[in-house]
Amino acid sequence: MAKKKRGEAHGGGHGWFVTFADLMGLLVAFFVMLVAFSTQDQKKLQIVAGSMRDAFGMQTAVRTSGIIELDGLPTRPRLKNVGRVNPEDASSTTSPDERGRNRMFGQRLDNDGAFALASASLRQALQDMPEIAELSKHIMIEETKQGLNIEIMDQNGSSMFPESSKEPYERTRRLVQRLSASLKDLPYRISISGHTTATRQPGRPAYGPWELSADRANSIRKILEEEGVPASHFYMVAGRADTEPLFPDDPFVAANRRVTITLMREAPPIPADLKP
């Protein structure tokens, strides 16, 4: 009597079907994970990011540029001094210098996290604009020592203001109006400065780059104020002409012609009733 071969137990050589079914199951699980990760919980994401920073150490020199890098909880300052201290010299009172360093460290973390959140809010406001594909190349949001800069700049063949005019195009006005919805809810004071490119052509008599850049900055301020940004939020409106090019290597490039809105980096005000 002939013995039955083991291969016949798979029903006519269809053993590949089991492997194929496993592969399909893995693919389904993979796409389910993609869908799950596409909907992010912002608060939980911040907590996870902060926990990872706390576990692996924080590099304080790294600039934050997005909502993912917003400092979550827990966070703690790194040790400044790990030298050995004799027990008789130890004290439970922190020295003034150390208190100052800790205060500045915590304040910097608060500012960086707040600027990252403000940047994300402004980017989200721009994403809601249907014409963002055309306008996105005119906007640059960057964190600097002075604060959070929102650069509204020209590009070759496409400008935000008519030639030699202090009044912006209608698309520029709509862009500033959309930004104002986020700016009026932020607690920062605002500085606005106008900039021009270097030019080889003589300017209009009694109306040169200084007057033009100052008038353009002031026109942006007026739009923001009309859209509800409190007048008390404006710290300074100035014209810089061509003295602060965005691209110093090429002072004639169109992107140097811009208006900069700066959310100022400032220490919190001292309460009037504070006693030393």
121 and 152 fall within a common domain: no
**Closest to 109 in 3D by CA, of 97, 121, 101:** 101
Q: Are residues 242 and 144 in the same domain?
A: yes
What is the pLDDT, as a whole number, of residue 23? 87
pLDDT tens per residue across span 129-153 = 666 667 777 889 888 888 999 999 9
Q: Is the peptide bond before 130 cis (omega within 30 degrees of 0)?
A: no
Q: What is the CATH number of the domain that holds 244?
A: 3.30.1330.60
Q: Do 123 and 142 belong together in one domain?
A: no
Distance CA 191, CA 139 (A): 17
How many CA atoms does the CB half-sphere of 77 hold within 13 Å? 16
**176: domain range?**
134-264
Question: Based on the domain organization, do 252 and 148 belong to the same domain?
Answer: yes
Domain contains 8? no
pLDDT reported for residue 153: 93
Query: What does the alpha-carbon distance between residue 70 and residue 72 come to, in Å, rounded to a whole number?
Result: 6
Task: Say yes or no: 253 and 152 in one domain.
Answer: yes
Same domain, 108 and 177: no
Residue 143 lies in a domain: yes
Say whether both 180 and 248 belong to one domain: yes
For position 229, what pLDDT does the model report?
95
Domain assignment present for 276: no
Predicted pLDDT of residue 201:
78
CA distance 46 to 67: 8
Q: Both 120 and 139 in a single domain?
A: no
Question: What secondary structure letter does DSSP report for 225?
Answer: H
Q: Is residue 87 part of a domain?
A: no
The pLDDT score that the predictor gives to residue 109 is 42
Identify whether 9 is part of a domain. Answer: no
Does the residue 237 lie in any domain? Answer: yes
- Give every CB contact of residue 48 below 8 A, 6+ residues apart in sequence: 72
Residues 152 and 246 in one domain: yes
Reduced to 3 states, what is the DSSP secondary structure of residue 186?
coil
pLDDT string in tens for the chain (276-residue length): 555 555 555 555 567 778 888 889 988 888 887 777 666 666 666 665 666 665 555 544 444 333 333 333 333 333 334 445 455 555 555 444 444 444 443 444 455 677 788 888 788 777 766 666 677 778 898 888 889 999 999 988 889 999 989 999 999 999 999 899 889 988 899 999 999 999 887 767 788 999 999 999 999 999 999 999 999 999 999 999 999 999 999 999 999 999 999 999 886 556 566 665
